[in-house]
């Protein structure tokens, strides 16, 4: 390879900068020849900062490896790896290069603030930078060297078209539009010496990034115990801590942090959360998990343990918080944790949830006259409106510990019976949630008869929508504005054909159903189902499953079109009721 390269007319044309063939490992060459810029790790490249870099570099230099997926946590130094590998290509093994990031602006900022500086400062590359009459060939979007060209841009069709590349670098492809990795792969035109390097945190299962990584020879990082010298696969079980709470029932993070230590699963030695110990534990080795794979693609999956600057106590705090959110039906923080700290992909809970009647056995008949459940904080009635009659569930909740019991379920024929149920179970109007998608005029007319003319004192009318993110609410202050996404909207006003005013609240079907499935999955009495629940209830609760309609787009749908799902719908409305009334906190915060 080296000989051939030296025969290239471009390389012959260079008076300076010709390098002897490289036999040294890339990490070693980089520590002498690459001067970093704007990196948190000081000026010269230093492998000891994140020792795991070594394996990416080895694969990059290995002619047998043509494609690399590096699934790595935040703080891993993925950008530094691009800078080192890019410098190596320019200095030692040239070929046209395309670097794609999330969008044009991000990649230009990086070129300007970091990569161009690296190329200009490093002894390896500085002599290649076009000067004199050619100096305008250096831009923040591209560099036309004498011996190769380097293009950059956002991952979109405009930047991937028609170009034939030897090197393709991709930054954070978990955020790329579907199809862009495929476009990127086609830029190689099947060159034998092609090299593709994609680096990113994890993402969702079923996305293009996940498929690319999964089809590589998958290596997990195993870490060296400084005591017993055994390499250990990483799991959160290695981190031990006391989950201390203060007098108000809030976590005492100071005490929890002090209790965090890493325990080696093999020799059971305990390591406190110190810089020295984390540096020792950053030593690692990739271990192939034995999967089927494309012959020339390598995948690496690294965890927080590769980044010694990340304290174990901050990891534990994220972990505790994420798991508490699952109890509130919000998977988002746990997904972020898996994607960002564990170097893994997130599998959406997609199966039909399994109802658990065994954990907390009770009879709904014991509540038939509206009896209170011990320590109950709230109860809601949810009504699904049919052409003939209604499906109803009534469920009560304990706030804080997240436990609930279904008290009543079934079919009701008339509004009179609904009113009777409401009063028998001691429910205020604001505790009642009715589906507004069907026959809204009649629903509103009945509500006026039952609740009076004041709209604020009416039942809640809910409208489910195909909306995957939820509804934006501005929280925080004018100085520090913050946006959260709730599963329900603000009030929307409407008028019936009779001229009666009403207000509705929309909700995200997807997110409310995710939250319901999450609660059911927790078990542990979070979503109590009585042992005398009707067969209708049980089968309707298992009538839907979550499916991928097209890549990355999920929807809850009936398993068979003739299945009834009415009480599944009413329980979903019950979740929305909990969110509206603060029983469950289900919201996403913009990053
Ligand atoms: Zn050990």
Ligand 1 centroid to residue 226 C-alpha, Å: 7
For domain 364-589, the CATH class is alpha beta
104-553-348 Cα angle (round to 5): 110
CATH 3.40.50.300 in the chain: give the residue spans: 2-225+283-314
Tens digit of each residue's pLDDT (9 = 90 or more) over 261-297: 999 999 999 999 999 999 999 999 999 999 999 999 9
Ligand 1 centroid to residue 219 C-alpha, Å: 21
Ligand 1 centroid to residue 49 C-alpha, Å: 22
Calculate the CA dihedral of residues 325, 329, 330, 336 and round it to 10 degrees: 80
- Say what the pLDDT of residue 9 is: 42
- Say what the pLDDT of residue 328 is: 64
CATH 3.30.420.240 in the chain: give the residue spans: 364-589
HSE-up of residue 291 (Cα within 13 Å, Cβ side): 17
Tens digit of each residue's pLDDT (9 = 90 or more) over 388-424: 999 999 999 998 778 999 999 999 999 999 999 999 9
| Residue-averaged pLDDT of the chain | 90
Ligand 1 centroid to residue 232 C-alpha, Å: 8
Q: What element of type H or E holds 344?
A: none
Q: What is the CATH number of domain 2-225+283-314?
A: 3.40.50.300
- Say what the pLDDT of residue 15 is: 41
Nearest CA among 380, 383, 410, 402 for reference residue 530: 410
Ligand 1 centroid to residue 345 C-alpha, Å: 28
Ligand 1 centroid to residue 261 C-alpha, Å: 13
* Residue 11 in this model has a pLDDT that exceeds 80: no
Ligand 1 centroid to residue 70 C-alpha, Å: 27
Ligand 1 centroid to residue 263 C-alpha, Å: 8
Model confidence band, residue 5 (pLDDT cutoffs 50, 70, 90): very low
Tens digit of each residue's pLDDT (9 = 90 or more) over 17-59: 455 556 789 999 999 889 987 655 558 899 999 999 999 999 9
CA 334 to chain centre: 8
Ligand 1 centroid to residue 280 C-alpha, Å: 12
Tens digit of each residue's pLDDT (9 = 90 or more) over 227-247: 999 999 999 999 999 999 888
- Say what the pLDDT of residue 558 is: 79
For every residue of 91-126, DSSP letters joined together read HHS---EEEEESSHHHHHHHIIIIIHHHHHHSTTTG
Model confidence band, residue 12 (pLDDT cutoffs 50, 70, 90): very low
Ligand 1 centroid to residue 282 C-alpha, Å: 14
Q: pTM for the whole thing?
A: 0.67
């Amino acid at each position: 390879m080296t000989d051939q390269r030296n025969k290239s007319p471009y390389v012959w044309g260079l008076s300076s900068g010709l390098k002897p063939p490289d036999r040294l490992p890339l990490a070693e060459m980089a520590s002498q020849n690459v001067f970093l810029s704007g990196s948190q790790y000081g000026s010269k490249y230093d492998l000891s900062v994140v020792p795991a870099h070594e394996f990416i570099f080895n694969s990059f230099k290995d002619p047998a490896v043509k494609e690399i997926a590096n699934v790595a946590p935040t703080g891993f130094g993925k950008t530094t790896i691009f800078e080192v590998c890019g410098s190596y290509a320019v200095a030692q093994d040239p070929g046209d290069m395309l670097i794609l990031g999330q969008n044009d602006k991000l990649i230009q900022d990086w070129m300007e603030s970091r990569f161009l500086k690296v190329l200009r400062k490093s002894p390896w590359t500085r002599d290649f930078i076009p000067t004199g009459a050619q100096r305008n060939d250096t831009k923040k979007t591209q560099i036309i060297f004498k011996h190769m060209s380097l293009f950059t841009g956002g991952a979109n069709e405009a930047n991937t078209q028609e170009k034939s590349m030897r090197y393709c670098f991709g930054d954070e492809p978990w955020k790329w539009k579907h199809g862009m990795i495929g476009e990127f792969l086609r830029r190689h035109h099947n060159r034998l010496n092609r090299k593709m390097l994609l680096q990113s945190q994890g993402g969702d299962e079923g996305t293009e990034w996940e498929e690319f990584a999964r089809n590589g020879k998958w290596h997990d990082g195993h870490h060296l115990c400084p005591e017993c010298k055994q390499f250990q696969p990483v799991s959160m079980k290695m981190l031990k801590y006391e989950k201390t709470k203060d007098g108000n029932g809030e976590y005492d993070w100071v005490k929890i942090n002090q209790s965090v230590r890493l325990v080696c699963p093999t020799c059971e030695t305990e390591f406190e959360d110190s810089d020295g110990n984390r540096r020792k534990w950053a030593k690692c080795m990739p271990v192939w998990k034995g999967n089927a794979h494309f012959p020339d693609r390598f995948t690496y999956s690294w965890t927080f343990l590769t980044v010694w600057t990340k304290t174990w106590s901050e990891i534990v705090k994220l972990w505790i918080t994420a798991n508490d959110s699952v109890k509130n039906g919000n998977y988002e923080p746990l997904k972020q944790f898996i994607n960002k700290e564990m170097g893994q992909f997130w599998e959406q809970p997609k199966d039909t949830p399994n109802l658990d009647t065994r954990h907390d056995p009770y009879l709904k008949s014991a509540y038939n006259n509206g009896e209170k459940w011990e320590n109950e904080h709230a109860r809601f009635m949810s009504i699904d409106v049919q052409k003939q009659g209604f499906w109803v569930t009534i469920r009560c909740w304990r706030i804080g510990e997240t436990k609930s019991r279904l008290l009543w379920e079934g079919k009701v024929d008339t509004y009179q019976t609904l009113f009777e149920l409401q009063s028998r179970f001691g429910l205020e109007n604001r505790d009642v949630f009715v589906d507004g998608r069907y026959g809204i005029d009649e629903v509103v007319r009945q509500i006026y008869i039952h609740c009076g003319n004041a709209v604020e004192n009416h039942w809640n009318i809910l409208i489910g929508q195909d909306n995957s993110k939820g509804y934006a609410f501005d929280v925080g202050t004018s100085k520090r504005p913050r946006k959260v996404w709730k599963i329900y909207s603000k009030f929307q006003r409407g008028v019936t054909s009779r001229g009666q005013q009403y207000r509705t609240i929309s909700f995200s079907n997807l997110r409310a159903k995710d939250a319901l499935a999450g609660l059911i999955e927790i078990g542990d009495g979070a979503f109590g189902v009585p042992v005398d629940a009707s067969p209708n209830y049980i089968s309707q609760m298992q009538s839907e499953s979550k499916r991928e309609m097209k890549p990355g787009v999920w929807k809850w749908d009936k398993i068979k079109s003739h299945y009834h799902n009415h009480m599944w719908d009413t329980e979903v409305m019950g979740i929305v009721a909990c969110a509206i009334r603060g029983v469950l906190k289900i919201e996403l915060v913009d990053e």
